[in-house]
Chain A
Amino acid sequence: MIRVLIVDDEDLSRQALKNLLQESGDVEIMGECRNGFEAVESIPRLKPDLVFLDIQMPQLNGFDVVELLEEPAPAVIFVTAFDEYALKAFEASALDYLLKPVQAERLAKALEKYYRQTAGLKPVSFAPFIESHQAHSAPLARILVRDGQKIHIVPTTDIMYVKAEDDYVMLHTAQKALLKLERLSRLEKMLDYRTFCRIHRSFLLNIVYLDKIAACSKESRLAVLKNGAKLPISRQGYRSLQKILNDEKRLSRSID
């Protein structure tokens, strides 16, 4: 008996899949989620074996849900509507997906593959897929942070600076500070290099929020932010900062 969770924002899509799964027998439907938030909340609680995950959902799409899942994550079969972007993402990966309308034979094949994998064949990992998906959508427009039960969607334009904290990063916005499991160097690569500057080994600054650069001794400088916060600037960081600021100046001049 496979314990299954269905995630889809459309009532009819969930119904269609439920009908097909019930006909295929050996399946227990543990629940249904109407959006990504519900899915991220339900999956650790219900611990399904297999999740049918829709891609096109409001706010958190299927890719976001997978990114937010904590280990051990269940097996996932993606379900997607006719969408060129999503289809391209799948074709570039080895992941299984079902195209809507889901057909009985295709579903049977996907379930069969799931059985083979749980019977000892190595399970497919999402990590490389998610990473390449993120790399393709760089620069990131938003960052997802899971804070216990709560999920924050942080637009990158709201981030003033990011501080490295061991294996985590702390995202500082005007309102709050959020901890995310991520390496600063990887985050730096995914953010817009024209606005985010690595001013220090442990700090990534959004130059939009920079007020001025203060010299505090011969060799060390401080970035003073518009809200008054002060961040250290390393020598290497000062060079990158100057480069970004110059590029920006040139750009704004060419627009004038």
Chain B
Amino acid sequence: MISSPLFRSRNHLVFLGLLGALISAGIVFFFTAAAQATVREAVLLLLPALTLEMFLGLFSWYLCRFLPLEGPRLANTFAAHFLTGLLVNAFWLTSIFLYSQLLDQLFETRSWSALYDRALFFLAGIGLGLYVIFILLHYLVLALEKTQAAEQEALQQKWLASEAELNALKNTIHPHLIFNSLAMLPPLIAAAPQQAELLVGRLSDFLLYNLRYSKKTTVPLHEELQHVKDFLEIETLRLNERLRVEYRIDPSVLNEPVIPFILQPLVENAIKHGIRTTLDGGTLAIAMTIAPAFIQVMIRNPYEKNSASGKSSGLGLETLRKRLAGAYGAAGRLRILQDQNEFTVEMQIPRQRQVL
């Protein structure tokens, strides 16, 4: 009975107490009229009876919890409540009858059982009515709990997605890239000033993109591609012939809208944990194809599995996965394939005009 949700908080308890007192007062008032009794007599007979009814009513919580108010078994639910209602009421009336017999023994001022007989129909009606009220209250609480749980779940989803967004945003600051680019500048200025200029230009474009698009929900894919090309030009200045890039891009993907910053983390991973772990470098392959329902992006790179540095924490990919899930649900997929010396990431993005 304690597990009844009507008892769960102090507010509930106070509310129920007040409601109970009000209803009890009403019942006592009508009882005096219906059974021609004084208020004292009515209270003496009804107070224990109503207390008992409260306990009986609270027990219906278990029944309500296991008998859903929806679905194909609705008839069963009603039948079960009807039968238990009758049984509970019979038990209640019997208890009052026995109690009135007891009162006959204790106070001989009047015939309590005669009073009971006179008020039998009134009492039966009150008992059933209160029982129904309890059942309705319990179903109301159940419905509230259900919507609360659904709301909480939605909130949780939203929170996870925004956490991933925040991570992605943090990653757009790229302290590594800025540091590494700065480190390249002095020798470039001395030996190849045009390349130093190129580096500064590409780095500015790269950072500008981060500033401009960190607030947007979608960008055309060609802008994402340009972002990655800026990044790769900087990396090529650093790695020279160790980094070769091969693009295979279906031109019809270029205007498709996608959420921003989905390519760059993949390419950065491919270099940091792939190309840079091999002695002689290798080819980074970027391919994009289009299907009626989705865009497919594939990024493939060699890697050296016995390399000291370059072990991936997998955090970047995990963040991307969460963002895809947040924006596209199950339709946004990230698949990772790894063999002895090659690493492939396949990303699938559903096509749509607008992502909310």
Q: Which residues of A contact B (CB under 8 A)?
A: 9-13, 15-16, 19, 35, 37, 55-61, 63-64, 81-82, 100-102, 141-142, 153, 155
Contact = CB atoms under 8 A, between A and B. Distances in A.
Contacts of B238: 10, 12
Q: Chain B contact residues (Cβ within 8 angstroms of A): what range?
A: 20 to 34
Nearest to A13: B183
Given A100-B183, A155-B306, A59 B277 contact: yes
Contacts of A153: 306
A58 B304 contact: yes
B279 A59 contact: yes
B180 interface: yes
Given A10-B238, A13-B183, A82-B176, A61 B308 contact: yes
Interface string B161-195: 00000000000000110011011111110110000
B38 interface: no
A101 B185 contact: yes
Q: Interface on chain B toward A: helix, strand, loop, or mixed SS?
A: helix
Q: Interface on chain A toward B: helix, strand, loop, or mixed SS?
A: loop
B180 A82 contact: yes
Contact of B187 (A16, A37, A63, A141): A16
Contacts of B190: 15, 19
B183 A58 contact: no
Contacts of A64: 308
Contacts of B184: 12-13, 16, 101
B9 interface: no
B187 A81 contact: no
A13 B240 CA distance: 12
Contacts of A12: 183-184, 187-188, 237-238
Contacts of A13: 183-184, 187
Contacts of A59: 277-279, 304, 306-308
A66 to B, nearest CB: 12
B276 interface: yes
Contacts of A10: 238-239
Contacts of A100: 179-180, 183
Contacts of B276: 9, 56, 58
Contacts of A55: 309
Contacts of B304: 58-59
B186 A16 contact: yes
Given A12-B238, A61-B309, A35 B179 contact: no
B188 to A, nearest CB: 7
B191 A81 contact: no
Given A35-B279, A37-B279, A58-B279, A19 B186 contact: yes
